[in-house]
Structure 1
């Protein structure tokens, strides 16, 4: 049923691309120009109107499948649909895809993005999203991941990954269900198909997910495993929003974050050497600065910790890999470390982190509790900071200092 929908969606996107290139107005309503920085409570009702928030992300109204009015209220952390008039048949295309994104979408690139980026060069792509749902709409809540053999900044990409956090009503992904998969520690129904313009692989949650922190690369890797992408391809953008068919007022993205870590670092990340961020990867804790990282603790042959940070004004994210360098498996892990003064953890993925500041402990989830000899596990966290980011110190695995 959704093949027609996806075909319409590709047609809409092609139209947006042409308009962006020509700088024309849509029905005399708007002219596509560079989006200004957003303030809280910015109202957008123009068909393809967009703006930026946090100096990092683009929020777009993106009403492409209906002539009825749609408005979004853009806040400092996300957006809410305040008006979503009209309805379209559920066996065809949705009427819109209001969304927030990091990357490049039809020549509209988010500020400071390091996308497109080659998948083989990306060490991690941590992201978080929180949704608010309403009961009077037919919709899906979709996180889109776009992949292409070329570093495209406009046009349709070769493969679209859709992660359905929720759906209400008689709507379904493009193609047909081909089985199930475990990705990011969750179970998903998997659908594959082609909409006439690109391949689509959809991961549908069996029950609604309100918020989640995960690594985009886990879904990209699953697409590669299924022959729908290659490691040499590029991640061009990640987007999160809603596809409504009927109504939709009240649906909201209340928070969103996205970082892409390239190799041992990222665009805004850095290596901590003697407490100063200089660019690269942080390894271990704080004892004795070395080129390319700092080595922490008293040293141990049992574990090694590698931390890859990304920072911006007032905040940061960090991807952490815990390697078991011992000769026996670790069953159940607790990684202790100390956050510098002024840094507070606000969310985490693939681990629970508590407390939120000072001496904290990251504890495994049920699905990643074992670290085999010679193997590793990864998790990440995001937080706020007062001043420049500084790396955590004093890493210990189950009480033993790590190198």
Structure 2
């Protein structure tokens, strides 16, 4: 078992009681007891090899604040208007830096609490980058409201024991490959290596170096202010 795996499991175990026992209080005012808090749209906080990012980057954005106790336990409060276009991608990131064919058995497990109802549009997703920012692999585990992937539907594929719908296209700056879960879940395990290597083996993506691996919430609208919480996150590399 690698050091990173031991550290991830320990962090998740320590964060779980807080997320469970204090769920209501955490959703109302998590920043009061958080280790780190920021309202800066580009705010970031480093925890070991991981970085937690507020990352409010779209146009026509509203207010967004972020808090974290660790890379494994963090969340945001976002109040973005009910208009089109992605407003933000609050996330936790890790730099892998390995060739796709030699990236090892990279996988992750997450547990999140997300809002439901009207005036909401978002997805919970991994964002995996190849060759810098030339190739973007998105893995959507669940979503809500008027959101959709870039490009066109390609095929269905079973990876890591789960069924995914693959879409492929371009955002004008880089190629985008989006795997959308056929079964939405807020508590899931994802085989990241399987997704990346499937694209190369099937001629969809060239052989690349996998760099940044991110996980978070891509928020289009959250009018009135909503909470998005990452209760636990473990990354095995």
TM-score by length of structure 2 reads 0.78
Displacement over 3 Å in runs of 4+: none
**Is 1:227 aligned to 2:203, yes or no?**
yes
**Is 1:132 aligned to 2:108, yes or no?**
no
Q: 2:227 aligns with which of 250, 258, 274?
A: 250
**Is 1:62 aligned to 2:37, yes or no?**
no
Q: Within 1, Cα distance between the matches of 2:141 and 2:87?
A: 19
Q: Deviations over 1:293-350 (max 9, x none)?
A: xxxxxxxxxxxxxxxxxxxxxxxxxxxxxxxxxxxxxxxxxxxxxxxxxxxxxxxxxx
Greater RCO, 1 or 2 (C-alpha within 8 Å, sep 6+)? 2
**Is 1:259 aligned to 2:236, yes or no?**
yes
How is 1:81-100 mapped onto 2 (pairs within 5 angstroms)? Answer: 81-82=76-77, 84-90=78-84, 93-100=85-92
- 1:197–1:169: structure 2 CA closer, same or farther, 3 Å change rule? same
- Structure 2: runs of 5 or more not aligned: 1-32
Q: 2:101 aligns with which of 105, 116, 120?
A: 120
Match of 2:73 in 1: 78
Shift, 1:258, TM fit: 2.0
**Is 1:43 aligned to 2:37, yes or no?**
yes
Match of 1:174 in 2: 150
Larger gyration radius, structure 1 or structure 2: 1
Q: 1:196 aligns with which of 163, 169, 172?
A: 172
**Is 1:52 aligned to 2:33, yes or no?**
no
Q: 1:78–1:100: 8 Å Cα contact kept in structure 2?
A: no
Q: Within 2, Cα distance between the matches of 1:85 and 1:133?
A: 14
Q: Deviations over 1:256-307 (max 9, x none)?
A: 22232xxxxxxxxxxxxxxxxxxxxxxxxxxxxxxxxxxxxxxxxxxxxxxx
Greater helix percent: which structure? Answer: 2
- 1:228–1:88: structure 2 CA closer, same or farther, 3 Å change rule? farther
- Structure 1: runs of 5 or more not aligned: 1-38, 104-114, 261-403
Q: 1:127–1:258: 8 Å Cα contact kept in structure 2?
A: yes
Q: Within 1, Cα distance between the matches of 2:46 and 2:231?
A: 15
